């Protein structure tokens, strides 16, 4: 009789251990890798962004103004991209998770299933379309030149008025390539961030930098020594270089659904969200 009870107890303990292991494995898989639960109505929607490209995205210390906590980080992400990501995640019925990554690591992270999508102020260029897919645009802007107030470039109308000027833009973006359209421009080494370019501009190391209009507005709001030029004769560029879209893996099943969600956000709502992002971004950025 004792032997039978011993066998029963061993069987019960074994079942408990196996059940516990199975639960642990399931939790690990759902939190450590994107796409672990792709069923509608549940699971995570893991978004990759720099969290350092205001007003599209930035890092802050709390959840003010609807910011979302960054995964495996004590900080929060805010900005236009975050607010759009929240709407997409809600439409998909999933929990939004923000993953902070370096710009060059976004596409590899998407391809390796570490994230489900890139919502990071990324333009759907033809080069990028070779490796990932994009949704319809969720923001469209134009290129401006950020300069110092009182400089000889204030009030110019054409990009050619910057002939001979020291001009730069952000590293690994289409903004940097368009600088070549300025005749005899003194093209400077690309910089990693807008804060770095603002410092260089104020110090006189550069005469200006190319950016999208939201950054021009942001720079002028953050520093009264700055302004920006909106050109009458501007850069020759296609829509893919001045538009922003969600990056997805090739043949992602959520593509059509996300496009439907974006279609439901009016242009007025998008502009209102951008204006809020510009007014809310940290002054240091």
The verdict on 219 and 165 lying in the same domain is yes
Supply the range of the domain harboring residue 151: 143-236
The verdict on 132 and 148 lying in the same domain is no
In a domain, 26, yes or no: no
**Is the Cβ–Cβ distance between 193 and 107 less than 8 Å?**
no
In a domain, 164, yes or no: yes
Q: What is the pLDDT of residues 9-25, one digit of tens each?
A: 445 454 444 444 444 44
Total number of domains constituting the chain: 2
Q: What is the pLDDT of residues 15-59, one digit of tens each?
A: 444 444 444 443 333 345 665 444 455 799 999 999 998 899 999
In a domain, 39, yes or no: no
Strand partners, 238: none
- Least confident interval from 104-108, 143-147, 213-217, 254-258: 213-217
In a domain, 31, yes or no: no
Q: What is the pLDDT of residues 117-168, one digit of tens each?
A: 999 999 999 999 999 999 999 999 899 999 999 999 999 999 999 999 999 9
**Is the Cβ–Cβ distance between 106 and 120 less than 8 Å?**
yes
The verdict on 268 and 151 lying in the same domain is no
How far apart are the C-alpha atoms of 47 and 101, rounded to whole Å? 10
Phi, psi of 179 (to 5 degrees): -60, -30
């Amino acid at each position: 009789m004792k032997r039978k009870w011993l066998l029963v107890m061993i069987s019960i303990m074994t079942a408990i251990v196996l059940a516990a292991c199975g639960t642990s494995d399931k939790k690990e898989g759902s939190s450590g890798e994107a796409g672990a639960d792709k069923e509608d109505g549940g699971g995570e929607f893991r978004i990759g962004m720099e969290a350092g490209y205001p007003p599209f995205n930035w890092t802050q210390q709390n959840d003010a103004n609807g910011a979302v906590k960054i995964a495996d980080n004590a900080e929060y992400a805010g900005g236009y991209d975050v607010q759009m990501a929240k709407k997409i995640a809600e439409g998909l019925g999933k929990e939004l998770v923000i993953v902070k990554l370096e710009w060059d690591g976004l596409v590899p992270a998407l391809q390796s299933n570490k994230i489900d999508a890139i919502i990071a102020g990324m333009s759907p260029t033809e080069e990028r379309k070779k490796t990932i897919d994009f949704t319809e645009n969720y923001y469209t802007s134009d290129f401006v030149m950020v300069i110092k107030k009182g400089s000889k470039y204030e009030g110019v109308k054409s990009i050619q008025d910057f002939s001979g000027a020291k001009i730069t833009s952000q590293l690994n973006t289409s903004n940097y390539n368009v600088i070549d359209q300025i005749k005899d421009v003194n093209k400077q080494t690309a910089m990693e961030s807008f804060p770095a370019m603002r410092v260089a501009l104020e110090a006189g190391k550069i005469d200006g930098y190319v950016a999208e209009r939201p950054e021009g507005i942001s720079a002028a709001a953050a520093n009264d020594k700055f302004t920006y030029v909106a050109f009458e004769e501007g850069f020759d560029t296609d829509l893919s270089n001045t538009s922003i879209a969600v990056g997805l893996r090739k043949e992602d099943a959520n593509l059509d659904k996300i496009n439907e969600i974006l279609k439901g956000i009016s242009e007025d709502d998008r502009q209102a969200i951008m204006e809020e992002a510009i007014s809310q971004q940290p002054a240091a950025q």
